[in-house]
Structure 1
């Protein structure tokens, strides 16, 4: 009985010591010859050559962006992370190209499909497809995040205030980024007057699930007269801007609208943020 227990413990111990992602090992041939060079050649001929098989409309539909935008993103992630460089493996064989790795990542994000539905076309293993998507999202955030997720400037604030005032909500900042800065006390100054009262901080439209903070303007639940009904209607209409924007995001990036039980919180944040940064 003790011997069986020891054998079982030894097997579990050895299994835990094995690397989760196994790369090329010198002296051992790969189990499957995927012909990665031909995979790159076909992909390049299909979409990236001077006379590609598929025209720009097909590229935009399948990659969710124009070809020149894809190339800008690809060049940015290659310069940022050596993982996307085309290198030789332990056997001296040329590795996967940045086109293959970025295409695998984009396809998984665009269609919300698992890695084993991408590997046949790009000639990469499921593990490599998944790792490419993880690293692609991280690189997009680190390279393009400072430009496209920057904090709003005073000019941005004035433009939003003017737009929202025209809709009947003076002093309203309809952005969660603005609210984060507001909660930390770093929001740009916002001065407006309502019913003779002066205010120096903006507010954020919210529904009933949020706490009773002065920076939240909630809808009216008990609609007793036409005035309150009109306010609730206008408030809910303006609040739906975020829902509409998220609907556009879902229509472009399938991974956003699919179940996400298999992802941890960090990976979910990275994928969502990368989709927000990239064009829709």
Structure 2
């Protein structure tokens, strides 16, 4: 029998450093970050864009038999869902992890806290006008399953002319930021690339969040090595 154990370190200094890392590298974008994200979005042809949003499934190899029905969705095997918001440089600004794989993107969206501040009227103020309509919220690039909210910009399902085809091509291209982030996260950390071997959801959440923190640390460290979009 293989026994997995998790060692908790009770050193106050270690816990303080761990909490500090989580506060820095799992934080929400501040005002300076939002200004930068809006500038980059405008330079890429999507003014007032804050990033891309999507979900990833992590397969649970040791999911208890009694839970398999609840954790099995369209992947036809038990999984846990990770929802993230990613910017142009693959920095993960929002991470919500732990729901069973039987949920879809809409169900996860209703339970995550990505729009919790907006619903309380505390979200970042972003004012712009499109086709004669005024908006005061930034938006995210998303795929077709997401609801038709003002905070989501999706590709046109059946583009019929050059304008709509160009828009759809650009939207699908820049929305790949989140897909690239998932690929980079799995390439860097084999523990999330392969199936999860723990069965305790709390342990799996610690593993996933730790990998996201280290991923953002690497993005920050390698920022100067990769060209960034030109900002006028």
> Which of the pair is proportionally richer in helix?
1
- Computing the radius of gyration from Cα coordinates, the structure with the larger value is 1
Q: Normalising by structure 1, what TM-score?
A: 0.48
Count the aligned residue pairs. 152
Is 1:210 aligned with 2:146?
A: yes
Equivalent in 150, 155, 176 of residue 240 of structure 1: 176
Give the unaligned 5+ runs of structure 1.
Answer: 1-115, 117-125
How much has 1:184 moved relative to structure 2?
4.8
Tell me the C-alpha RMSD between the 2 structures.
Answer: 2.7
Comparing 191-200 with 148-157, greater Cα deviation is found at 191-200
Tell me if structure 2 keeps the 8 A contact 1:141–1:277: no
Q: Which residue of 2 aligns with 1:171?
A: 48
Give the unaligned 5+ runs of structure 2.
Answer: 53-84, 86-92, 95-113, 219-232
Segments of 4+ in structure 1 off by > 6 A? none
Q: Which residue of 2 aligns with 1:153?
A: 30
Q: Distance in 2 between matches of 1:135 and 1:209?
A: 42
For residues 262 and 150 of structure 1, do their structure 2 counterparts lie closer, same or farther at Cα, with a shift above 3 Å needed?
Answer: closer
> Which of the pair is proportionally richer in strand?
2
SS in 2 for 1:174: strand
- Structure with greater contact order relative to length (CA < 8 Å, sep ≥ 6): 2
Tell me if structure 1 keeps the 8 A contact 2:144–2:155: yes
For residues 184 and 255 of structure 1, do their structure 2 counterparts lie closer, same or farther at Cα, with a shift above 3 Å needed?
Answer: farther
Is 1:260 aligned with 2:137?
A: no
Q: Distance in 1 between matches of 2:32 and 2:209?
A: 24
1:130-165 Cα offsets, whole Å, 9 max, x none, are: 313x769x9575341112112211111111001001
